[in-house]
Amino acid sequence: MTVEYTLFPLCEYAVTVRFSDRIDEDVNDIVHQTAARLQAERKEGIEEIVPAFSSLTIYYDPLMIDYIGIGAWLRKNIRRSEQAVRRSARTVVIPVCYGGEFGPDLPDVARFHGMTEDEVVALHSAGRYRVYMIGFSPGFAYLGGLSPRLATPRRSVPRTKVPAGSVGIAGGQTGVYPLATPGGWQLIGRTPLKLFDPHREKPSLLAAGDIVAFQPIGADEFARWSEEHD
């Protein structure tokens, strides 16, 4: 497969490779295959490789390597990554206690769509969500795959603090807050899992390319999970 891309300088010390203007799994696979190849063939002077939905950006030391050198290195490794075998996706099951104190916006989301709360939970937990990238805050996974039937506008007034583990919907996206932060997403549940822990060998529970499945649990099970994984 021939990979089409555009290469352009982002600034005097960064280059962006854009593979497409659309967001889909095939394009995202190319992004992460290329990023993995670049990491494996990392050149002196390369400071950071940052994959996104349909592009990746390489930050470098301009005193050690110039734009022409970066371009040659990129083109060589992009050609080689064309032959890479797509890796099998890892599925991560995330337990979620929906509604109540854990999902205070679930009633509003249900009313917005003319559904019962149980119907919202069933539809949300039936989905399989791809992790396109990690960003925004440590361990925050940008997920694709939310049913259009659940797309819901953000809250008109954001909360000043959203508890870590909160599961929310904003527009056509769903996601989990890995840390306690301000936020305006519609909160429909919460997981007892720690999505980000700086003391773990791999601080982020999720990685780009993973598939996320949400598993409904009750409040008692949430408490047990919290105790066992504290």
Domain match, 58 and 125 both: no
Between CA 133 and CA 51 the distance in angstroms is: 7
Chain segment 170-190, per-residue pLDDT in tens: 999 999 999 999 999 999 999
161 pLDDT above the threshold of 60? yes
Domain match, 108 and 190 both: yes
Residue 149 lies in a domain: yes
Domain match, 32 and 104 both: no
Task: Determine the pLDDT at residue 2.
Answer: 66
Q: Say how many Å lie between the first and final Cα of the chain, rounded.
A: 46
Residue 165 lies in a domain: yes
Domain holding 14, by residue range, is 6-77
Residue 83 lies in a domain: no
* Tally of CA atoms within 13 A in the half-sphere of 126 that contains its CB: 9
Rounded average pLDDT over 148-157: 96
Domain match, 52 and 109 both: no
Domain match, 147 and 222 both: yes
Chain segment 37-56, per-residue pLDDT in tens: 898 888 899 999 988 888 99
18 pLDDT above the threshold of 90? yes
Q: Please, where are the H alpha helices in 17-166?
A: 25-40, 67-81, 106-113, 117-126
- How many domains is the chain built from? 2
Rounded average pLDDT over 30-35: 87
Q: Please provide the DSSP assignment of 86-107 as one string.
A: PPPPPEEEEEEEESTTT-TTHH
Give the CATH number of the domain where residue 181 resides.
2.40.100.10
Residue 31 lies in a domain: yes
Task: Determine the pLDDT at residue 225.
Answer: 87
CA 18 remoteness from chain centre: 18
Chain segment 65-83, per-residue pLDDT in tens: 999 998 899 988 888 776 6
Domain match, 51 and 100 both: no
Domain match, 133 and 163 both: yes
Residue 82 lies in a domain: no
Residue 84 lies in a domain: no
